[in-house]
Amino acid sequence: MSKIISLTGDLGSGKSTVSAILCKTLDYKYVYTGQIQRKIADRYNMSVNELNIYAETHPEIDNEIDTLVKNLQQSENLVVDSRLAWHFIPTSFKVFLQASIEVSAQRIFGDKKRKNENYESHQEAMKNIIARKESEVRRYQALYGVDCLDLSNYDLIVDTSNLTPQQVADKILYGFEQRK
């Protein structure tokens, strides 16, 4: 039985916050591909959205990130926050976190730590979240023939819109324990 939890889901669904709770509770290490993507965006002097569009015609961007995730298959005691960890680590406990677009935009708009995701308004955040999601879906379909929004790919789906991060983590921990 794999001792890896892979988290993916909607932008602003709480993946990072919930991952921190899971890692602390389980004493697991955290791998966060969003941070890698943000570093690449900085390296290219782009916003995350601009990098996503650029990556549609430059597969080396996704390859850099995805190679890291693929190499985790033999690891243990990890929480992997990645759009495609469920695909590259098929034995992981695969979790998808959902949130309404309004909630996602509010969370991202209010998060000052997202230095290359700054928006002038809630509406602009919603527009960019939708564009980023569409770009990612197109890329992953073209590169790997997978749909990261197909919920049948996951062991557990949690709508985080009206839950606290601890409540979400508790649901995941319960599901992970039941899977064992």
Residue among 72, 30, 14, 25 at smallest CA distance from 173: 25
What whole-number distance in Å separates Cα of residue 179 and Cα of residue 163?
A: 22
Q: By CB neighbour count within 10 A (0-12 exposed, 13-18 middle, 19+ buried), where does 159 fall?
A: middle
Q: Which pLDDT band, with edges at 50, 70 and 90, does 139 fall under?
A: confident
First to last CA, the chain: 7
Q: Which pLDDT band, with edges at 50, 70 and 90, does 114 fall under?
A: low
What pLDDT, on a 0 to 100 scale, did the predictor assign at position 143?
Answer: 84
The mean per-residue pLDDT over the stretch 107-118 comes to: 60
Q: What is the dihedral of CA 14, 19, 24, 28, to 10 degrees?
A: 180
Q: Which pLDDT band, with edges at 50, 70 and 90, does 110 fall under?
A: low
Strands 93-98 and 78-81: what pairing? unpaired
58-108 pLDDT, tens digit per residue, is 989 888 888 888 888 888 999 999 889 999 999 999 999 999 888 877 777
DSSP characters over 83-152: TTHHHHSTTSEEEEEE--HHHHHHHHHT-TT-TT---SSHHHHHHHHHHHHHHHHHHHHHHHS--TT-GG
Mean pLDDT of the chain: 87
Q: By CB neighbour count within 10 A (0-12 exposed, 13-18 middle, 19+ buried), where does 66 fall?
A: buried
The mean per-residue pLDDT over the stretch 166-173 comes to: 98
What whole-number distance in Å separates Cα of residue 89 and Cα of residue 73?
A: 5
Find the angle CA(115)-CA(144)-CA(11) to the nearest 5 degrees: 30
Q: Is 80 exceeded by the pLDDT of residue 2?
A: no
Q: Which pLDDT band, with edges at 50, 70 and 90, does 35 fall under?
A: confident
Q: Which pLDDT band, with edges at 50, 70 and 90, does 4 fall under?
A: very high
The mean per-residue pLDDT over the stretch 98-126 comes to: 71
Q: Is 70 exceeded by the pLDDT of residue 162?
A: yes
What pLDDT, on a 0 to 100 scale, did the predictor assign at position 111?
Answer: 57
The mean per-residue pLDDT over the stretch 123-135 comes to: 82
Task: List all residues 6 or more positions away from 154 whose beta carbon is below 8 Å from its beta carbon.
Answer: 8, 86, 94, 95, 96
Domains of the chain: 4-179 (3.40.50.300)
Question: Residue 61 corresponds to which tokens in the numbers above?
Answer: 């961007």
What pLDDT, on a 0 to 100 scale, did the predictor assign at position 121?
Answer: 73
The mean per-residue pLDDT over the stretch 44-65 comes to: 86
CB 136 within 8 A of CB 87: no
Q: Which pLDDT band, with edges at 50, 70 and 90, does 120 fall under?
A: low
Residue among 131, 129, 139 at smallest CA distance from 59: 139
